[in-house]
Amino acid sequence: MTEYYNVGKIVNTQGLKGEVRVISMTDFPEKRYQKGQILYLFLDRKAPIPLTITSHRTHKNFDILTFKDHATINMVEKYRDGILKVAAEDLTPLDEHEYYYHEIIGLTVKEISGNTLGIITEILSPGANDVWVVEGKNKKIMYLPYIESVVKKIDLTAKEVYAEIPEGLIEDED
C-alpha cells in the first residue's frame, strides 16, 4: 500500500477559472507544485484523487494551483478542505543532516547522559529554526530548538535524538 505525505491544504477557490488556494505544508513548493507534478487529494475518507498540476503561482500567503481538466470554479469547489499529498516514492532525497518531518515526529529525545525526556509530537516553524515539541512525563511539554548546539545526534534507525539541554530550557519539577 502506498504511503502519502502532506504537502498542502486546499482552503478555498480563487477566481472563476479553476484555481484553488493552498496553505502549503512543504519545504519544497517549487518542486511539489511544478507543472506536471501529480498530487493526491484526500477528501472524506474516500480513495485519493490524482491531480496533475497545470499552473502554480503565489498570492499573499497562499500557493495558487490549477489542475488538468479542472477549468472552472464549479469543478474545484468540491475540493475545499481537501488535503494534498505526495506519494512516498515521489519524495526528494535530502542532503545529510536534513530530515522530513515524518522522520522526526515520534522519535524519543534523550539527554547526552541517557535520561529520556520524551517523544517529539510536532514540529513548529516559527522563524530562524524549527522547534520540536517534546511531550515528556505527565504530558509535560518542552520546546526543543533544532540547532546544532542543542541537537547533537539523530539516529533514525534507533528512533532516538540526543540533545544537550541548555540550563533553563526544562523547568524543574516541584
Task: Name the residue ranges covered by the structural domains of the chain.
Answer: 4-89, 101-163
Smallest CA-to-CA distance from 133 within 150, 116, 121, 145 is with: 121
The answer to whether residue 174 scores a pLDDT higher than 70 is no
Was domain 4-89 assigned CATH 2.40.30.60? yes
CA distances 20 to 65, 68, 83, 101, 149, Å, are 5, 13, 12, 25, 41
Residue type, 121: T
Note if the pTM is more than 0.75: no
pLDDT band at 171 (very low <50, low <70, confident <90, very high): low
Element holding 74 (H helix, E strand): helix 73-76
**Cell digits for 55?**
499552473
To the nearest whole number, what is the mean pLDDT of the chain?
Answer: 90
Per the model's pLDDT, the better-predicted residue between 91 and 80 turns out to be: 80
Which residue type sits at 151? V
Where would I find the beta strands (DSSP E) of 62-168?
A: 62-67, 83-87, 108-111, 116-124, 131-135, 141-145, 151-155, 160-163
pLDDT > 80? residue 144 = yes
Topology given in CATH for the domain delimited by 101-163: SH3 type barrels. (2.30.30)
pLDDT surpasses 80 at 126? no
Same fold, 4-89 and 101-163: no
pLDDT level of residue 152 (50, 70, 90 thresholds)? very high
pLDDT surpassing 60 at residue 173 = no
- State the residue for C-alpha cell 484555481: 19
